[in-house]
Amino acid sequence: MNQKEPLLQREGAKSVLASLLSIAIGLAFGALAILVVGLASRDLGAGSAWEGIRLIFGGLFSTGRGASGALTWGFNGQNIGNMLFRAMPLIMTGLSVAMAYKTGLFNIGAPGQYLMGTLASLAIALGIPSGALPKPLIWLLAFCGAILAGAIWGAIPGALKAFLNINEVIACIMTNWIAANFVTWMFSISNFKNVVENTKSSYIYKTTYGLVDGKYVSGAGIATSKMGLDKVFPGSQINGGILIAILFAIGVYVMMEKTTFGYELKACGSNRHAARYAGISDRRNIVLSMVIAGGLSAAGAGLYCLSGNTEFFWSTYQSLPAIGFNGIPVALLAVCNPIGVIFTAIFMSMLSISGLQLTNLTAYNEYITDVIIAVIVYLSAFSLVIKMWLGRRKDKVGAVDANAEPLVPKSEPKTVSEAKGGDEA
């Protein structure tokens, strides 16, 4: 009779354990760094180090300093709302990387796809005159335009991989920089540059600016609906985009785990030649995988830009958007599980908010949280080592059981001679 496999020996449990250990070690490393800096500095000291450590672990719930100068704690709706707002595009880029990885592809082109989604969403939202169409319809067109632009951009490395067997990493790196320069050029020749606020330079209008009689007017444009979340988290940037991102994550999970199409995508990722032998079109599915990944990444840009409270700095040729690359650690830490991506994106955003609190309330720099994230990502790459260690323990237990002397009932003879002797007697 088959015995039920122990919980800690299951692949899913080992993956979760590996990620949790990576997070715990990363946070411990950050706390140790703060402690060392605090004790080594004459201006900081042990008290300041203790405050920094508490802010790293619970900065999300810090409400500032009281009259006595001590840190105060409680429900901080602004911090929590801003955390969820920052998690919104991270969920989408994390889904983009995770979905492609599940199908055997490494989508390092998420930054370029994100930029193409930014260009499309802002161009449509700012290019359609206010009053020409209902505002919800303009928002929907801009969002769908972002997804389409990212899907087309993702199809390029997908097609190169499928038909010419060019490594998707190399193709994605090239398309990233092409997108950066293309978007920069398109915005530089456009009329979308913010000329109303004279202190701005190289910034694009927020989508709350609408085109009225050839001029951009504040408040005449579109923005993502708050859906009542601003009442729950007052003073924050949160809007309904976080709910849309979560629905996308659930949709990707259902597609990959519960549909024939998702099974075919994963089969091509496991072995495209075996999938082709089974009658699955490997080339089509490779292209479709990158199309979906590109659309997801660009959807994150659409949700972020259409929120109405963000500005885009169009001189992007100097660097690619970090939000695209940050999707990689989000996916790795979630073991490329679409539902897990939601929680890892929120965790990464929480560290970002904690870093801001660290800068605002102590003498420490917020970049200590970047060090923590780097350590966590580095350790998450070693998750396979933890799985192998757990598997080795299982093998040892199995070996002990195999070497044990088998139990033989006393009523049965142990040898052939004993059986014959018993018959003659």
Do 164 and 294 belong to one domain? yes
In a domain, residue 315? The reply is yes
Domain count, the chain: 2
- Residue percentage of the chain with pLDDT more than 90: 47
403 belongs to a structural domain: no
Above 80 in pLDDT, residue 293?
Answer: yes
pLDDT at 330 over 70: yes
Domain check: are 64 and 89 in the same one?
A: no
Backbone angle region of 406, left / alpha / beta, with phi > 0 → left and psi within -120 to 50 → alpha? beta
Q: Give the mean pLDDT of the chain.
A: 85
CATH value at residue 240: 1.10.3470
In a domain, 36, yes or no: yes
- pLDDT reported for residue 160: 96
Whether residue 251 is found in the same domain as residue 291:
yes
Based on the domain organization, do 242 and 328 belong to the same domain?
Answer: yes
44 with 141, same domain: the answer is: no
- Quick one: pLDDT band at residue 272, thresholds 50, 70, 90? confident
Tens digits of residue pLDDT in 42-86:
777 788 888 888 888 888 888 888 888 888 888 889 999 999 999
Is residue 71 domain-shared with residue 180, that is, in the same domain?
no
Measured CA to CA, the distance from residue 299 to residue 331 in angstroms comes to 16
Q: Which two tokens stand for residue 158?
A: 């997908």
Same domain, 109 and 27: no
Q: Do 231 and 255 share a domain, yes or no?
A: yes
Query: Nearest-CA neighbor of 240 among 222, 225, 257?
Result: 225
User: Is 40 inside a domain boundary?
Assistant: yes
Same domain, 268 and 385: no
In a domain, 347, yes or no: no
One-character DSSP codes across 117-132: HHHHHHHHHHHSPBTT
Pair (100, 149) in one structural domain: yes
Structural domain span for residue 281: 81-342
Look up residue 130 and give its DSSP letter. B
